[in-house]
């Protein structure tokens, strides 16, 4: 397969855009009548669209309203909404006035959001609905910097009291009926554009300061290896508060003149895929894992021949992929692909809309098994790597140089190397300005000569492909001195659908154990198969099922070194979530908090040792 370079003739150069709002203005100038955004209108219950010019006219109204709040360039404003055109309108209007935009996760705990608002001195906050402000009301004294709170959706019955504060206003009352031209007060590409607070698996989040140039150069570099075309459509469903989505699913399409459609919700994603029929998909591994889990569940209900045919098709498809990549030889079974594609692959791809050219995966490691399944079915998945502090993309595979077990080569303009303890170091125009009001933390991760320490452990092969092997801070050091990065082992265990969540433990202990949140339905099937009763009311039964789960774990992790053997399993009933404070908004485990919550189970795992 040849490396498919972007053949779009309408990519906006960084030097022409200068700033993120300058990028939008240039896109409006070049493509005024082209469809920019699609969204679902719940009132009319139908999909609607905006052209670039229509968006620009609406941005002018938002900008005039923001300007009426007497804010100064450099002031911070925040947005806490699901993905929608208004998110873009607000951000572009604010950027044009030289303001700094801070995205907040809609499903984050209100205490975390309040901390960010207070830490950044946010003066204006845009919320989706009154229910969000009602949560803030209880801790209103913690967000004293706010001068104005704007509620996008009309208040519902009974919400009057929550909106009684003089600083709260509905967008309908706040926006002007019409306005003049959109203003662009800042033309300094090095000016601060946004502060993105890292979710933080321990301690308080830090505010990552990114300039216009940080993000623009990263966006342009992405387009050097991701072939986004002017007639492409992306379905946006990762939150825009996530840097991966904001750069790859918002600025990249803008720079390349592609169309963005906003999914209604994760729950309605399947239906939206069939309606929108996107040509590109940007996602975190969890979405691909869910699709695969659905496939496996359906296969389990079908005939043995259907399962054999599916995996045979995957094997043939993946063999073709390896041959096209120049890593494998041609096999006679490849001639069967047109038939296998019709009988198997096309049916699966139809569930994703049937028009996908390729998909991007980032934000976390995609398991080799899941990657192999989709690539084998004919959907190239390009896995990449990045972090908020690097705007975020650092490395990515290419269509013509795709090594699924790696995160690919550094993107154009970005350098990488290995530092102490094989930590991946990053240098380039995408590296952040630093952490907001935290020079000590900045100095700890960025060297005097500009190298950002990612905190991730990596290896780099002779061709330059980078493979992430673990997190420095997450390495488990056993009492024997052996070091075990937990991510790979946890990913291997999660291949069995009986496990919904797992966390490897063993710091300063003589052996490894896991805390496991089982899939309730599949656990009940397993219990029935072994003739066991309710494990949560019977201690002996619980120990028996934990032994059965341990046998599964041993099989799933048999390829890991002997010192990494897992010796005990403890079942945990309550799933780890954002709501109970055990997951970050980007769904990463807060390991220290999980250990604290389950210290009784942990002690049981190591009792007598």
Burial 512-534 (b: 16+ CB within 10 A, else e): bbbbbbbbeebbeebbeeeebee
Helix 20-30 to helix 85-96 angle (10° resolution) is 110
Mean pLDDT of 85-99: 98
Q: Is the pLDDT of residue 609 over 70?
A: no
Structure tokens at 133: 């402000």
Query: pLDDT for 153-180, tens place per residue?
Result: 876 655 666 667 788 999 999 998 888 9
pLDDT, tens digit, for every residue of 477-511?
A: 787 667 787 887 898 899 899 999 999 999 878 88
> What does the alpha-carbon distance between residue 44 and residue 577 come to, in Å, rounded to a whole number?
34
Nearest C-alpha neighbor of 437 from the set 212, 242, 209: 209
Kindly state the tokens that stand for 431: 């590296």
Share of the chain above pLDDT 70, in %: 94
pLDDT tens-digit profile of 103-122? 998 888 788 889 999 999 99
| E strand spans, 299-355 | none
Two tokens at 328?
A: 């494998």
Q: What is the mean pLDDT of residues 439-461?
A: 95
pTM for the structure as a whole: 0.83
Spatial separation of the C-alpha atoms in residues 593 and 204, rounded to whole Å: 13
Q: For 470, left (φ over 0), alpha (ψ -120 to 50), or beta?
A: left
Average pLDDT over residues 392-407: 95
- Angstrom distance (rounded) from CA 367 to CA 111: 33
CA dihedral 280, 284, 286, 291 (to 10 degrees): 10
Query: Tokens at residue 289, please?
Result: 């894992």
Whether the per-residue pLDDT at 203 is higher than 70: the answer is no
Q: What would the pLDDT profile of 229-278 be if each residue is shown by its tens digit?
A: 999 999 999 889 989 999 999 999 999 999 999 999 988 999 999 999 99
* pLDDT surpasses 70 at 559: yes
Query: In the predicted model, what is the mean pLDDT of the chain?
Result: 90
Torsion angle of alpha carbons 597, 599, 605, 608, nearest 10°? Answer: -170
pLDDT of amino acid 5: 44
pLDDT top residue among 511 and 563 = 511
Max intra-chain CA distance, the chain:
75
Residue 157 CB: number of other CB atoms within 10 A?
5
On whether the CB atoms of residues 575 and 475 are closer than 8 A, the answer is: no
Q: Please report the pLDDT score of residue 4 as a whole number.
A: 43
**Cα separation, 132 vs 136, whole angstroms:** 7
| 183 pLDDT tier (thresholds 50, 70, 90) | very high
DSSP class per residue in 401-456 = B--TTS--EEPTT-EEEE-GGGEEEEESTTS-SEETT-HHHHHHHB-TTS-EEEEE
Residues 498, 503, 505: CA angle, nearest 5 degrees: 135
At 46 the pLDDT is 96
Confidence of residue 6 (pLDDT cuts 50, 70, 90): very low
C-alpha 254/C-alpha 270 separation (Å) is 25
Q: What angle do CA 103, 202, 370 make, to 5 degrees?
A: 75
Q: What is the mean pLDDT of residues 191-196?
A: 98
Which tens digit of pLDDT belongs to each residue from 218-229? 999 999 998 999
Q: 184 or 266, which is more confident?
A: 184
Structure-derived torsion over alpha carbons of residues 475, 477, 483, 485, reported in degrees to the nearest 10:
-30
Q: Which comes out higher in pLDDT, residue 544 or 14? A: 14
CA atoms within 13 A on the CB side of 384: 27
Taking residues 518-538, what's their average pLDDT? 81
Nearest residue to 321 via CA among 378, 359, 368? 378
Length of the chain: 609
Lowest mean pLDDT among 196-210, 228-242, 274-288, 559-573: 196-210
Place of tokens 């399947």: 270
Res 162: pLDDT: 62
Rg over alpha carbons for the chain, rounded to the nearest Å, is: 25
Residue 136's φ and ψ, nearest 5 degrees, are -70, -30
Q: How confident is the model at residue 79 (pLDDT cuts 50, 70, 90)?
A: very high
Q: Average the pLDDT over each of 43-57, 269-283, 461-475 and give the range with the smallest value.
A: 461-475
* Lowest-pLDDT range of 55-64, 392-401, 576-585: 576-585
* Domains in the chain with CATH codes: 14-187+223-282 (3.40.50.12780), 476-605 (3.30.300.30)
Question: Per-residue pLDDT tens for 273-317?
Answer: 999 999 999 988 878 888 888 888 889 889 999 999 999 999 999
**Cβ of 82: how many Cβ atoms within 10 Å?**
19
The structure tokens listed for 235 are: 């379905």
Decide if 117 contacts 132 (C-beta within 8 A). Answer: no
Cα-Cα-Cα-Cα dihedral sign, residues 597, 599, 605, 606: positive
pLDDT classification of 376: cutoffs 50, 70, 90: very high
For residue 3, what pLDDT band results from cuts at 50, 70 and 90? very low
């Amino acid at each position: 397969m040849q490396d498919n370079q972007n053949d779009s003739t309408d990519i906006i150069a960084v030097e022409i855009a200068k700033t993120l709002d300058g990028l939008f203005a240039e896109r409006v100038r070049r493509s005024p009548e082209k469809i920019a955004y699609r969204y679902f209108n719940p009132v009319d219950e139908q999909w609607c669209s905006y052209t670039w010019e229509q968006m620009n006219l609406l941005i002018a109204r938002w900008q005039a309203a923001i300007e009426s709040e007497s804010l100064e360039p450099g002031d911070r404003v925040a947005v806490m909404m699901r993905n929608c055109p208004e998110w873009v309108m607000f951000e572009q209007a604010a950027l044009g006035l030289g303001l700094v935009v801070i995205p907040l996760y809609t499903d984050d705990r209100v205490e975390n959001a309040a901390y960010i608002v207070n830490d950044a001195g946010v003066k204006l906050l845009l919320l989706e609905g009154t229910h969000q402000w009602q949560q803030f009301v209880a801790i209103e004294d913690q967000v004293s910097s706010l001068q104005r709170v704007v509620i996008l959706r009309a208040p519902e019955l009974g919400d009057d009291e929550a909106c009684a504060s003089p600083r709260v206003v509905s967008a309908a009352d706040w926006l002007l009926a019409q306005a003049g031209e959109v203003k662009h007060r800042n033309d300094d590409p090095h000016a601060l554009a946004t502060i993105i607070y890292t979710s933080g698996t321990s301690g308080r989040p830090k505010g990552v300061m990114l300039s216009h140039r940080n993000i623009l150069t990263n966006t342009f570099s992405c387009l050097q290896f991701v072939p986004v075309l002017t007639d492409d459509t992306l379905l946006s469903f990762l939150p825009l508060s996530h840097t991966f989505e904001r750069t790859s699913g918002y600025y990249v399409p803008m720079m390349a003149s592609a169309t963005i459609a906003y999914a209604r919700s994760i729950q309605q994603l399947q239906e939206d895929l069939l309606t929108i029929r996107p040509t590109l998909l940007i996602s975190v591994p969890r979405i691909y894992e869910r699709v695969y889990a659905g496939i496996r569940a359906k296969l389990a209900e079908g005939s043995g021949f259907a399962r054999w045919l599916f995996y045979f098709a995957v094997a043939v498809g993946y063999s073709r992929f390896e041959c096209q990549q120049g890593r494998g030889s041609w096999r006679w079974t490849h001639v069967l692909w047109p038939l296998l594609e019709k009988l198997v692959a096309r049916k699966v791809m139809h569930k994703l809309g049937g028009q996908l050219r390729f998909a991007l995966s980032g934000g976390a490691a995609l398991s080799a098994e899941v990657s192999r399944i989709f690539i084998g079915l004919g959907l190239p998945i390009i896995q990449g790597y990045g972090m908020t502090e690097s705007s975020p993309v650092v490395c990515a595979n290419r269509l013509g140089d795709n090594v699924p077990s790696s995160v690919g080569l550094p993107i154009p303009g970005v350098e990488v190397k290995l530092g102490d303890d094989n930590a991946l170091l990053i240098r380039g125009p995408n590296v952040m300005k630093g952490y907001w009001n935290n020079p000590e933390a900045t100095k700890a991760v960025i060297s005097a000569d500009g190298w950002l320490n990612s905190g991730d452990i990596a290896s780099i092969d002779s061709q330059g492909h980078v493979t992430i092997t673990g997190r420095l801070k997450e390495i488990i050091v056993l009492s024997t001195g052996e070091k075990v990065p937990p991510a790979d082992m946890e990913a291997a265990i999660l291949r069995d659908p009986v496990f919904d969540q797992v966390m490897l433990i063993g710091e300063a202990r003589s052996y490894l154990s896991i805390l496991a949140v089982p899939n309730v339905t599949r656990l009940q099937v397993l219990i029935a198969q072994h003739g066991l009763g309710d494990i949560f009311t019977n201690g002996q039964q619980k120990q028996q099922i934990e032994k059965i789960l341990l046998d599964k774990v041993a099989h799933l992790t048999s390829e890991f070194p002997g010192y990494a053997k897992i010796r005990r399993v403890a079942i945990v009933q309550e799933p780890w979530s954002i709501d109970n404070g055990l997951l970050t908004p980007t769904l990463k485990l807060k390991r220290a908090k999980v250990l604290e919550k389950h210290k009784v189970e942990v002690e049981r795992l190591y009792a007598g040792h």
